[in-house]
Amino acid sequence: MTELEDATRKILNGTSTVSDKIRALDRAGLPRAEIARMLGKRYQHVRNVLEADKLAARPGVAETAATYSPGLSPMCRLVVGPRGAFTLPDEVMAALGLGVGDVLIGELEGGRLVLTDGVTAARRARERLRALLPPGPSMADELIADRRREAANEDRG
């Protein structure tokens, strides 16, 4: 096996979708016709993937797309589409235990948007609110105790 074949095999094994493979082989410097031949795809398919990436990189032009490379890094590429929509790759959904209809909460931290699942976000919100409460007995516990005393008094009387 030549060095080029070995490098190509590593690139292909580190990607999950055909589009990711096309991008990776293009970054490695292979011509589009060779990429199409290697992947058993039409030249037009390879061209469409690479040209769409160029369009998405231009300001004001975007399409919905996402790529995730589990073997390469813990990042995924998300392209913002119409009305701010983007799609999480299936691998990311699985890694986070998310399903269709699950809720994510977005929080701006400096120049980053951090997405958190709904359960974790609710737990963090409770912790933040708990820190704001004055020390001492819980007002809810006091209210419940008052209602129970009143109910007991009504039962006796």
Q: Give tens-digit pLDDT for 55-68.
A: 655 554 444 445 55
Average pLDDT over residues 129-141: 83
Task: State how many domains the chain has.
Answer: 1
Q: Terminal CA-to-CA distance of the chain, rounded, Å? A: 94
Among the listed residues 48, 85, 47, 92, the one whose alpha carbon sits nearest the alpha carbon of residue 68: 92
Inside any domain, residue 143: yes
Domain that holds residue 123: 103-157
> What is the helix (H) or strand (E) element at residue 116, kind and residue range?
strand 112-117
pTM of the model: 0.39
Inside any domain, residue 58: no
Inside any domain, residue 155: yes
Alpha-carbon distance of 76 to 144, in angstroms, equals 49
Alpha-carbon distance of 57 to 78, in angstroms, equals 12
Give pLDDT tens digits for 35-90: 889 888 899 988 888 887 776 555 544 444 455 555 555 677 788 888 888 888 88
> How much is the mean pLDDT over the chain?
79
Cα radius of gyration (the chain): 27
